[in-house]
Amino acid sequence: MSSVHPDSLLAEVAALPSLPGVYRYFDAEDQVLYVGKARNLKKRVSSYFQKDHGGTRIGHMVSKIRRMQTTVVRSEAEALLLENNLIKTLSPKFNILFRDDKSYPYLKVSGSGLKGHVAKAAPAQESVKPDAYSRISYYRGGVEKKHRYFGPYPSAWAVKETIQLLQKVFRLRTCEDTVFSNRTRPCLLYQIKRCSGPCVSKISVEQYVLDVAQAEAFLRGETQAVLQAMEQRMMTHSDKLEFEMAAEVRNQMTALSRVLHQQSVDTVSDTDVDILAVKVQGGRACVNLAMVRGGRHLGDRPYFPSHVEDGHAIASMALEDDERLNVQSMEVKVLEAFIAQHYLSIPVPSALITSEKVNAKVINAITSQSGAKVSAVHNPREQRRVWLEMAEKNAAIQLARLLAEEGSQQARTRALVEALDLAPDDIDLLRMECFDISHTSGEATQASCVVFHNHKMQNSEYRRYKIEGIIPGDDYAAMRQVLMRRYSKVAEALKSGEIDLKLRMPDVVLIDGGKGQVSMAKEVFEILGLDLALIVGVEKGEGRKVGLEDLVFADGREKVYLGKDSAALMLVAQVRDEAHRFAITGMRAQRAKVRVGGGRLEEIAGIGPRKRAKLLQRFGGVRGVEDASVEDLMSVDGISRELAESIYQALH
């Protein structure tokens, strides 16, 4: 095996130290192949090059290695953390990889605890400052010390449900500060008993602070303490003959008790727990993460790693001699990879409940990183067992759904390859780009480009193009412009012989249109010197009915009717419809921006999206901003006198 590797690489391997560390392998195109950790770098890395691994997955990977990088660390725990940091950053081809999902949402309680505020009701004639009354809200992003954050939650729905619960029981405000500052009478939420009306002094700061404190205690899982405190308040009001206030507290207790009974929270001792269940089948895996926060089960979220079989095979080969006696199953390896990668970026709870027994080294590593003791429980009992069984069932359901969808998409891809007589090296690598033009009577013309690759739509590679300098409504000119902008650089790279994976041509260029649009695409490709066989147009059938479309080609082939039940046509329709949807949404947003005039505010230095939104919300639109004086503009949060004068001058 070593004969295919450069002598410089083999010399580098021979010179490695016998210390713990992390190694990275690269191929001839400098793409990362694999990231691994080792207790002994010299011993581990040498094992890859001293044996003939034949035609195995490991042999396939090793044959591609042309360069290596290593990093020496102080301990195995450091090696584990660095390994998974690099896996998430570099996305190697042969590691088990959990791609980043959207960031988790939090429930945000604004303010710093309201210390220093006067603990009495504000006089009616005196304006009430919004920072005297904490606001609860849905939040994603970086945290600030002056606010409190609860979570993370598995979904936006879980956060919003919790906010509704807090509104029912504790009646905390959810309105923006600008709305709060400009209220002169209570809003609808006050009327339906979902808010205590702090904006118009319907509640004292002292009482509101107490409600906030109890809401936060509830979110931390201190439910019994909250009920006891409420009971004490009710008795105090009763002793003072304040029966209406005592009844209000009684109603709060009733609402809270109902919630606790519905969710069985009153019987649970756990507050913050993550439940992790893994299922592996057909070369794919699913890790289902269920979250318990404050004793409440908030729901779950599935994760699907890539490179499962390759990663497991290579990692198993790379085990130390004493570890080979207890080779990990694929389920354990996937679960450990998830734990090591997932908790690099989000807080880890004090307890993890797992469907497989994970290595203590993984738990120790995340404990050292988080600075708090983390325990992992396998084979739990009672309520924890119920949670784990739910998570295992959901993991199996989600994986079955994924396998069914992937099988369907792969069948559609193969059908299209056969129908168009394509010859890709691997149908998994088939890449299709589809273009569509959208406008309203020539207004706000936009072109969209969507990408289908690896059997699914690749949202991150979608692009919109603002079309300018054409006669309004000229779809042919718009198509010409977008194709020139999309492929001119690719054509230059192909002519110069440069290898750039970001500038590769797709296998199919799908045009939403018939002979006219295809002729325009043909003209562009002839100018750029590109292969005309790539162009495929989707021509509407008789009566423009779905399923009767014909495929039109730019290279002279006869048009093809696939049939309304064709799997290939289903894929073409899926991609075409996605391009149309993407173009329509972009066009509508651009049209609304032009009509409302929001673009005028964007052109003013110092006005970003947040300040623009605050101005439009405060004054009801651009026309209201135009009518506002400098002093009125200064009343908006974040607008200084200097900026207010700049806005006034720009709009006048």
| DSSP at 97 | B
Whether omega for the bond prior to residue 20 falls within 30 degrees of 0, making it cis, is no
Per-residue pLDDT, 105: 85
pLDDT of 454-464, one tens digit each? Answer: 888 998 899 98
331 and 297 Cβ atoms separated by less than 8 Å? no
pLDDT of 200-243, one tens digit each? Answer: 888 888 888 888 988 888 888 777 777 777 777 788 777 778 77
Q: How confident is the model at residue 287 (pLDDT cuts 50, 70, 90)?
A: very high
pLDDT of 340-350, one tens digit each? Answer: 888 887 788 88
Provide the whole-model pTM. Answer: 0.63
pLDDT of 83-129, one tens digit each? Answer: 888 888 888 888 888 876 556 788 899 875 544 444 444 444 455 67
- Higher confidence at residue 111 or residue 265? 111
116-120, 273-277, 370-374: the lowest-pLDDT one: 116-120
Mean pLDDT of the chain: 81
Whether the pLDDT of residue 446 is over 80: the answer is yes
Whether the pLDDT of residue 483 is over 90: the answer is yes
pLDDT of 638-651, one tens digit each? Answer: 888 888 888 888 77
| DSSP at 327 | P
Which structural domains are found in the chain, ordered by start?
Answer: 2-78 (3.40.1440.10), 106-267 (no CATH), 273-320+328-400 (3.30.420), 427-592 (3.30.420.340), 597-651 (1.10.150.20)
Give the 3-state secondary structure of residue 279.
strand
Q: How confident is the model at residue 1 (pLDDT cuts 50, 70, 90)?
A: very low
- Higher confidence at residue 118 or residue 487? 487
C-alpha pair distances (Å), 236 with each of 170, 229, 243, 247, 589: 18, 11, 10, 12, 56
Q: Which two tokens stand for residue 618?
A: 């405060």
Write the CB contacts of 123 (distance below 8 Å, at least 6 apart in sequence): 201
Q: How confident is the model at residue 30 (pLDDT cuts 50, 70, 90)?
A: confident
Proportion of the chain in helix, strand, coil states, percent, rounded to 5: 50, 15, 35
pLDDT of 428-441, one tens digit each? Answer: 788 999 999 887 66
Give the 3-state secondary structure of residue 639.
coil
Sign of CA dihedral 330, 333, 337, 343: positive
Burial of 208 per CB tally in 10 Å (0-12, 13-18, 19+): buried
Nearest 5 degrees, angle CA 225-CA 229-CA 232?
140
Q: Which two tokens stand for residue 486?
A: 């999309």
pLDDT > 90 fraction of the chain, expressed in percent and rounded = 15
pLDDT of 628-639, one tens digit each? Answer: 888 888 888 888
Per-residue pLDDT, 162: 85
d(CA 280, CA 585): 38
Residue carrying structure tokens 């290695």: 65
Q: How confident is the model at residue 511 (pLDDT cuts 50, 70, 90)?
A: very high
d(CA 84, CA 333): 13
Give the 3-state secondary structure of residue 148.
strand
Whether the pLDDT of residue 272 is over 50: the answer is yes
pLDDT of 144-170, one tens digit each? Answer: 778 888 878 888 888 888 888 888 888
Whether the pLDDT of residue 42 is over 60: the answer is yes
Q: How confident is the model at residue 510 (pLDDT cuts 50, 70, 90)?
A: very high
Q: How confident is the model at residue 502 (pLDDT cuts 50, 70, 90)?
A: low
- Higher confidence at residue 616 or residue 430? 430
Alpha-carbon Rg for the chain in angstroms: 31
Per-residue pLDDT, 267: 41
Give the ranges where 343-453 is alpha helix by DSSP (H). 360-370, 382-419
Give the 3-state secondary structure of residue 509.
strand
pLDDT > 70 fraction of the chain, expressed in percent and rounded = 85
**Mean per-residue pLDDT, 18-30:** 90
**Mean per-residue pLDDT, 328-333:** 85
Per-residue pLDDT, 22: 93
pLDDT of 239-256, one tens digit each? Answer: 778 777 677 777 767 766
